[in-house]
Every structure is written in C-alpha cells, then in structure tokens.
C-alpha cells in the first residue's frame, strides 16, 4: 500500500473528527460545511478504492449500514437504575436531610439538567466505541450500536485509549423535531407527539439510515465504570468525560448547599423555554464519590441522587366541544375539544376528561375557559374551570344513555365510574377487538395484523370476529400487498385457529376482567362454553380466583342477546367451544418434575418463547412467577440471563439451563 495514501486517509480522518467536534460539540465550526463535505467525499472515495483501509472509527461509518433483522440483547456491566423523584421543596430538603444524616454535613451537590430523551449506555475499549445499548429493564437492554454511530456528536474514538462504560441521554433537538414532523406531514405520515417520542422511535429503527436522517444528539452524564481511573468526585468525572471528547451538558453546577440547589432549580424553571432541547426536571447528585458509595442504593435507585420533576405547565384556553370515543372494552371516554394552545412545547387541541363523574365534579361546561396541563408533561388533561370568566352562555354537558357509535344501551357496572357499551357488534370496538382476538395470546391468527384488519374494514369484508371465518380467497387476493401465497397462508391460519382450546376463545372475546389466566381457569372449570353461559353468579364465584367484579362482568356479557348471537355464528363456522387442555388435577402432572413447584424463567430461550415455556410448565402442574425469592423452587435460565440468575445463585435456588429444561419436558 502506498504510504502517501495511508497518510492521506489518516489525515482526512483527523481533520473530519476535529471539524465534527467543533461543529457538533463546541458549536463553533472553523470551516464552512462545503469544506467538510469535500473532505468527507474524498475519504469515501479513497476507502471505496482501498476497502482494507476502512476502520470502525472512520467518519464514513456514521452513515448507517445494512438494516438489522432484530436488536440483540445486552447485559449492562453496571445496572442502569432509575432515580427517585422529588416534586417540591419539601421533598428536596428531606433528601438533603437523609444524605447529611448518613455522611455528615460536609456535603456538596452537582445539579444537571434532566434531558427529556432516551437513556443509553456506551462502551469504549481502548478508546474505541464498541457497543451502545438502551436502558431496557435496567439490567438488560438492546444493542443499538449502529444507530448511535449516526449521532455526529458521539465520538467513535476517544482522545485517550481508555476502557470506559458511560451513561447518557439521546435526545432530538427542537429544530430536528420540527423538521422531521414537517416532512412526515408532507408525506401524509402520523406526526410524533414530542421530541422524546421521536428520539426513542429513531433509536428503535432497524434501518440505521433512517436513524441517521433524524439528526439526534447526545449528552453524557455518568461514568458507569472506568478501570484504572481514580476519580474523587462526580464533577471531576464530568470534566474528564469532556476532555475525552464526549459531549457533556455545559449547564451543570456544583452547589454547596440545598439552598443553592433550589436557586439552580428556580433559574432553570424560568429559563427552560429558551433551551434548544426539552428538559423535564433537574438531577441532583452527591458530588463526592466516596460519599456516594457510603450512601449506596435501594432496590430501585441510588440514595445519593434524586430527580426534581418540573410542575406540569398550565395554560388557559376555551373548551369548544366534548366528543366521545369508544374503546375496545366499550368504555365511553369524553374528550375535550379545545381552542388550540401551546402546552409544554407542543400544540394541544384535545384533552382527556376521563369520565362523567369528573365532568360533574368540576362542573365543566362547553364554552368554559379551562386550565389545561400535561400530566407528566405527556398527556393533556383539563384540571379546572375559571368560573369568574363565565358569561352565562356556557352549556352543561350530559352523557348519553345510548352508544354514540351503535345506539346500543350504555351500562355502568357496579363499582365503576365509566359508562360502557356492551354490544360486541359496536363498530367502534370491532377494530381494536379484532386486533386483540387474533393476537398471539388469544386466537393466534398469524398474518392478521393491524394493517390487514384495517383493509378488511375499509372493504366492508368484516364486521365482527365471526366474519373472519367467512373470508374467501377471492376477498383477500384483491387486497393491497396480498399475493397468492399470503392469501392462502392467511386462510390456513384462520382455519387452524378453529381448533384452539376454549381458553383462547374466552380471552379473545375480550370479556371485562377476564384475562389470559382467568380464561384458562374458567375453561378448566366449565369445560365447554355452553356450561359457562348457563352458569349462575354463585357458580362462577365458586371458581377459584373469580371475584364479584369478574362474575358480574361474565354474566352481563352472556346475558346480552348480541353476544349469544356471536357465539352461535362462531359455532356455525366450526370454531371449537371446548377446553382441550389437561384438567388442574390431571394425573399426568403427578410424575412431572414441575408438579407443585414454583418456577422462574429468565433469559432468552432458543426452542420456544417464554410464554410457551410457561404453558408447558403449567400443564405439568408447575406455577410460574416473575421474581426469584426463597419460595422459588427452580430457575430456568436461557442466554443473557441477568439479575434473576444472580439472585437464584445467591439464595441457593436450583438452576437449569435450556437443554435440561427441554429434556424434562420430553420425559
């Protein structure tokens, strides 16, 4: 290889990294964009001609590679715990008091802006960026390395060859958010509600090229681990991260007292709208790292840090109308139609009113001047009325006694505040109900997703779940993106679902309070849907785990003539109405190694999903729970098992790998 070429490639990378850092981190570019683009094009051409010169940290590797099939799971070296919250001065002074009681009065804090984005963990080895992951459940996240590489302010190589795990927040600047939504609006796509959702959606793209187009940014704020680096304070760590070339937020401040912390919060509560990005609070951390270690952690959060959440921004606007929506379970939800107003950075024209009782309690009328805020800075809701602005022209609102979609009778079940339409043929409920009916844990009809169901509705081919079983090849083949193979596969999946055991049908029908577990219990207890239909409330209450609410809901459902007509239609199409699984006292479970055992599943299984594994265990008399305790008899650990496996070993609980689990199933 010509030494002049290798030297030129190295020099181009150095220049591009320098200019990139000046532009995206320092916000102080030293060359025009055209010069940066010219040098980048030269590097791309050289790497294309000499692919052996391409390195993982080359600036050309930011454009995004081939689309991924799925995100791999990643176990964090150090758990990414969430912070406990403070909402007022009293909460913060209580935090300060607890800290000083534990480590003494010589305490200082570091205050940082709480960026409203998506938490990530970055891993560098010998200075090279090798892995980026989402927070996930705090122990296990998803590998989004390729998408993170598209963020221009994130260095692919640090200024020192160190090993480092560092935490940060990926966010979408407001200007990027506005540009993205304008583009989506022009293309007829759904708009993102806020920059945080847009950032999260961008990082979850399987195609890195899409993430690259979204122009995300990042701030790094916490060292997870730095082997061989002796740091005394968190503030010293922030300075070191900056020296390594990582982008830290410049607005952090070291505060000597809790009063200084409160001053900082007051300042940014007022200055918050002037930022180029969204924040939803202030993070307060004990600065001294030795004091942090002494304070330690609770099960969920560090004792040495707390997040102050800004009060929800409140604005006044006019309530112009009240509209009703009907959910999948028939709940009628009133929604306020508002004169559009800006709240917490977004335009709000609709807000939830929750239910009829709230409207009455707050005496909300059409035409009122109302106070609106975003609960948690996300969901707009009406919190009150300005009664002194009433003119006498405001109109009181009364909820109807008939469904706004199907004219069916509305009922209020005992103990509930919501009105509910219980007509299973209500068109507003059908679409969501169908999506639930065909879902994996219900009738499991593969190929019948939301888009296909929407098309079937638009073509007037389905009106309720029974219509699925009347679909024909000639109906499907005319649909968009539905070829011969897809149509036949879908018909085969629909036909196969007729053979499902009763519990899947019961769960799929969406009866209020009847979840997956209750559906199985009912199917085992009654054996056939006809016996369940005929069951009295007393007979239902005699079934283990069936309470008053569930019994009333079941009786209300099967007392409805429309529901019975639907069951008859399903029967006519050949849908199975009997329970096919083993009875709870099935003798075949007696010799099973799972019989009477409490089992926990953790990690990824290759041969089946966790849901399938749970069903196999329960069929053999076992009980599957979600957490490891001294009552746990057995833990089955797949790949990438995390904290549950560690807890099991700590408690001395028996642990099986997947191979042993499969062997036990066969026996």
Residues acting as catalytic residues: 114
Residue 468 DSSP one-character state = G
Q: Cα-Cα-Cα-Cα dihedral of 443, 445, 448, 449, to 10°?
A: 60
Classify 393 as helix, strand or coil: coil
Asked if 496 and 467 touch (Cβ cutoff 8 Å), the reply is no
Query: What DSSP string runs through 19-31?
Result: HHHHHHTSS--SS
Where does 498-536 have alpha helices with state H? 502-508, 516-526, 529-534
Sign, Cα dihedral of 335, 338, 344, 345: positive
Query: Residue 162 corresponds to which tokens in the numbers above?
Result: 């160190």
Pull the structure tokens for residue 59. Answer: 């600036």
CB 394 within 8 A of CB 366: yes
User: Which parts of 535-653 are beta strand (E)?
Assistant: 598-602, 623-625, 634-637
Say how far apart CA 350 and CA 473 lie, in whole Å: 42
Q: CA torsion sign, 425 to 426 to 427 to 432? A: negative
**Which token pair is 311?**
């009060």
Q: What b/e sequence results for 84-115 when a residue is b if at least 16 CB atoms lie within 10 Å of its CB, and e otherwise?
A: eebeeeeebeebbeebeeebeeebbbbbbbbb
Side-chain-side CA neighbours of 592 within 13 Å: the count stands at 23
Which residues have C-beta within 8 Å of that of residue 30, sequence separation ≥ 6?
19, 22
**C-alpha span between 156 and 56 (Å, rounded):** 8
The whole-angstrom separation of Cα 377 and Cα 488 is 47
Largest CA distance in the chain: 89
List of residues 6+ apart from 277 with CB closer than 8 A: 115, 116, 171, 172, 173, 174, 195, 217
List b or e across 298-326, with b for residues whose CB sees 16 or more CB atoms inside 10 angstroms. Answer: eeebbbbbbbbbbebeebebebeebebeb
**Cα gap 239→223, rounded to integer Å:** 11
Phi, psi dihedral angles at 355 (to 5 degrees): -160, 175
SS3 content of the chain, % helix, strand, coil (to 5): 40, 20, 40
């Amino acid at each position: 290889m010509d030494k002049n070429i290798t030297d030129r490639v190295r020099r181009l990378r150095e220049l591009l990294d320098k200019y990139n850092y000046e532009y995206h981190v320092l916000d102080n570019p030293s060359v025009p964009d055209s010069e940066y683009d010219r040098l980048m094009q030269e590097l791309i051409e050289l790497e294309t001609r000499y692919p052996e010169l391409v390195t993982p940290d080359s600036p050309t590797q930011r454009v995004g590679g081939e689309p991924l099939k799925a995100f791999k799971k990643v176990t964090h070296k150090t758990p990414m715990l969430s912070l406990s919250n403070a909402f007022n001065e009293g909460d913060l002074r209580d935090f300060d008091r607890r800290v000083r009681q534990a480590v003494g009065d010589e305490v200082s804090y570091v205050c940082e802006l709480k960026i409203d984005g998506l938490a990530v963990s970055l891993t560098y080895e010998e200075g090279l960026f090798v892995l980026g992951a989402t927070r996930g459940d705090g122990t296990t996240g998803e590998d989004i390395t390729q998408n993170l590489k598209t963020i221009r302010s994130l260095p692919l190589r640090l200024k020192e060859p160190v090993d480092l795990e560092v935490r940060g927040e990926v966010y979408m600047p407001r200007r990027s958010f506005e540009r993205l939504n304008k583009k989506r609006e022009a293309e007829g796509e759904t708009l993102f509600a806020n920059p945080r959702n847009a950032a999260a959606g961008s990082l979850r793209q399987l195609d890195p090229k899409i993430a690259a187009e979204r122009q995300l940014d990042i701030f790094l704020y916490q060292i997870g681990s730095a082997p061989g680096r002796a740091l005394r304070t968190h503030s010293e760590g922030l300075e070191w991260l900056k020296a390594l070339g990582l982008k830290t937020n410049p607005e952090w401040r070291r505060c000597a007292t809790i009063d200084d912390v409160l001053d900082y919060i007051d300042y940014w509560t007022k200055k918050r709208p002037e930022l180029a990005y969204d924040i939803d609070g202030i993070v307060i951390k004990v600065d001294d790292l030795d004091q942090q270690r002494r304070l330690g952690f609770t099960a969920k959060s560090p004792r040495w840090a707390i997040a102050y959440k800004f009060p929800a921004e409140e604005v006044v606007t006019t309530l112009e109308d009240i509209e009703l929506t009907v959910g999948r379970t028939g709940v009628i939800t009133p929604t306020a139609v508002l004169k559009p107003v800006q709240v917490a950075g977004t335009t709000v024209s609709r807000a939830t009113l929750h239910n009829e009782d709230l409207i009455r309690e707050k005496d909300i009328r059409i035409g009122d001047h109302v106070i609106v805020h975003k609960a948690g800075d996300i969901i707009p809701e009406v919190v009150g009325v300005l009664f002194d602005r009433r003119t006498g022209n405001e109109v009181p609102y009364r909820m109807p006694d008939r469904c706004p979609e199907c004219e069916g009778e509305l009922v209020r079940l005992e103990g509930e505040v919501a009105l509910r339409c219980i007509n299973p043929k209500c068109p507003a409920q059908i679409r969501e109900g169908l999506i639930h009916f065909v879902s994996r844990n219900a009738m499991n009809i593969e190929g019948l997703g939301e888009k296909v169901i929407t098309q079937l509705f638009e073509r007037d081919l389905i009106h309720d779940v029974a219509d699925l079983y009347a679909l024909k090849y000639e109906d499907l083949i005319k649909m968009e993106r539905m070829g011969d193979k897809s149509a036949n596969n879908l018909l085969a999946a629909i036909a196969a679902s007729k053979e499902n055991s009763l519990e899947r049908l019961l769960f799929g029908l969406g009866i209020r309070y009847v979840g997956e577990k209750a559906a199985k219990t009912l199917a085992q207890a009654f054996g056939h849907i006809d016996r369940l239909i005929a069951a009295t409330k007393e007979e239902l209450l005699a079934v283990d785990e069936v309470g008053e609410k569930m019994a009333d809901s079941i009786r209300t459902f099967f007392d409805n003539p429309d529901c019975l007509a639907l069951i008859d239609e399903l029967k006519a199409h050949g849908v199975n109405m009997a329970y096919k699984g083993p009875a709870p006292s099935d003798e075949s479970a007696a010799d099973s190694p799972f019989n009477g055992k409490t089992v926990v599943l953790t990690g990824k299984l290759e041969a089946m999903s966790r849901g399938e594994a749970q069903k196999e265990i329960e069929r053999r008399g076992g009980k599957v729970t979600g957490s490891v305790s001294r009552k746990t008899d057995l833990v089955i650990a797949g790949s990438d098992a995390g904290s549950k496996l560690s807890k099991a070993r700590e408690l001395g609980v028996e642990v099986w790998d997947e191979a042993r689990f499969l062997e036990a199933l066969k026996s």
